[in-house]
Amino acid sequence: MNRLVRRILPFTAFAFAMLSPAMAYAQAAKSPAAAPAAAAAADLDALTKAAKAEGALTFYSGATENVAKRIADAFSAKYGIKTQFVRLSGNTIIQRYSSEASAGSMAADVVFNASRPVAFAEEGIAKGWVDSIKEANLPTVRSGEYPAKYLNNATALIQIAPWAITYNTDKVSPAEVPKDWRDVLNPKWKGQLAVSDPRSSNAYLDLYAALIDRYGEPWFTQLRAQNPRWYLGGPPQVQALAAGEGMLGFPVIGPQVQAVRDKGGPLAVVTPDYTAGVEMHVMISARAKSKNPNAARLMANYVMSTEGNKVFNDDPGGATIYDTTKLPKEYVPSSLKTEARRDQIIKWLGLQ
């Protein structure tokens, strides 16, 4: 009878669907599609064991202090690895890392960077300072969990934080809140603008390039006429704004403002529909140079995973790379071509 049934009803997708849940799961575990996931799980176990044996990790962070501390604490709690970080602005990260690598005293196992991240990492690979993320055999890549479209040879994208405008809620009424980048040019804001100097980080260039494309030189001419105060990056800019040194500030990202709001700063944020953003990447130091190469790979794997990426992006209004539906309607992705426009941007801003 059993032989007859097998001849009449071969094992097909229909028969698979009729199995009990337990039997179906067991069959799926043997399927080719499950093989990468099983291999990735085994790889993660082995990587975790090797990383725990090292017991420590140091990373440089272009992300704000609150983000860096959050990811360090979460990683340490999950894996029991002592984790420390150094918070640096984008261009300072490049300068410090290059100086230490050239001297043969590599301090950072991992780098979170949004200033020329891909180009800098590729240069690092050529010099033997950096290992390719793509070729690091990370479990989250091998399993297919990490979105392949965000994977470069040298780095992986872990954050998209739109550039926004912040304002002092003690000085700006709800009716006055700007809606887009043209609104900051209103004469009533003259002398009241706190603006981040793009010379402090190339991450700002994408926004100014987008503003050139949309509004042209007149926007920059009118901005100069507003007599803005210039600050070396978002963190000092938002701190000054919270202290009353102005009414509006830009460009900022949510985590920068949230770090000050957490301490009672009277700030809020508005994100224009048309904007660019900070696109943070993770880079790992070369295995031969890194003091903790396995912990470095485990951290990269963590921030690239669904779980770790949520921790990294867990700020009000934040979005993970696994859910980009919260991005502004006219978000302009970062472009490697933007750096070629740096001199034009600096000139039009009057910062020569």
| pLDDT reported for residue 76 | 98
Which pair of tokens denotes residue 45? Answer: 């176990």
Question: What is the predicted pLDDT for the residue at 8?
Answer: 38
Is 293's pLDDT higher than 80? yes
Q: Is the pLDDT of residue 66 over 70?
A: yes
Q: Is 144 a domain residue?
A: yes
CA 57 to mean position of chain CA atoms: 19
Q: What is the pLDDT of residues 198-238, one digit of tens each?
A: 998 888 999 999 999 999 999 999 999 999 999 998 889 99
Helix (H, G, I), strand (E, B) or coil at 101: helix
- Report if residue 3 sits inside a domain: no
Indicate if the pLDDT at residue 71 is higher than 80.
yes
Q: How many domains does the chain have?
A: 2
Count of CB atoms within 10 A of residue 183's CB? 15
pLDDT of 6 strictly over 50 = no
Quote the mean pLDDT of the chain. Answer: 89
Token pair, residue 127, equals 């010099």
How high is the pLDDT of residue 124? 97
Return the C-alpha torsion angle 59, 65, 66, 67, nearest 10.
Answer: -40
Nearest to 147 by CA among 275, 324, 277: 324
Residue 11 counted as domain residue = no
118 and 44 assigned to the same domain: yes
pLDDT over 60 at 322, yes or no: yes
User: What percent of the chain is modeled with pLDDT above 70?
Assistant: 89
Both 52 and 92 in a single domain? yes
Instruction: Please say if the pLDDT value at position 329 is more than 90.
Output: yes
Residues 77 and 203 in one domain: no
Residues of the chain with pLDDT > 90, as a percent, come to 78
Question: Residue 258 is inside which H or E element, if any?
Answer: helix 254-261
**294 with 247, same domain?**
no
Task: Write out the residue range of the structural domain in which residue 237 sits.
Answer: 164-275+330-348
Query: Is residue 283 situated within a structural domain?
Result: yes
- CATH code of the domain in which 188 resides: 3.40.190.10
Q: Which residues contact 276 (CB under 8 A, 6 or more apart)?
A: 162, 163, 206, 207, 209, 210, 331, 332, 333, 334
- 270 and 285 belong to one structural domain: no
Residues 244 and 178 in one domain: yes
Q: What tens digit of pLDDT does each residue of 127-164 get? A: 999 999 999 999 999 999 999 999 999 999 999 999 99
Q: Quick check: is 154 in a domain?
A: yes
pLDDT tens-digit readout, 156-184: 999 999 999 999 999 999 999 999 999 99
Q: Which residue has the higher pLDDT, 352 or 309?
A: 309
Taking the C-alpha atoms of residue 130 and residue 108, their distance in angstroms, rounded to an integer, is 11
Whether residue 152 is found in the same domain as residue 233: no
**In the prediction, which pLDDT does 19 show?**
36
335 plus 205 within the same structural domain: yes
Cβ atoms of 223 and 184 within 8 Å: the answer is yes
Give the residue-averaged pLDDT of 245-262: 93
In three-state secondary structure terms, 155 is coil
Q: Lowest mean pLDDT of 115-124, 149-158, 164-173, 312-321, name the range.
A: 312-321
Check whether 9 has a pLDDT greater than 60: no
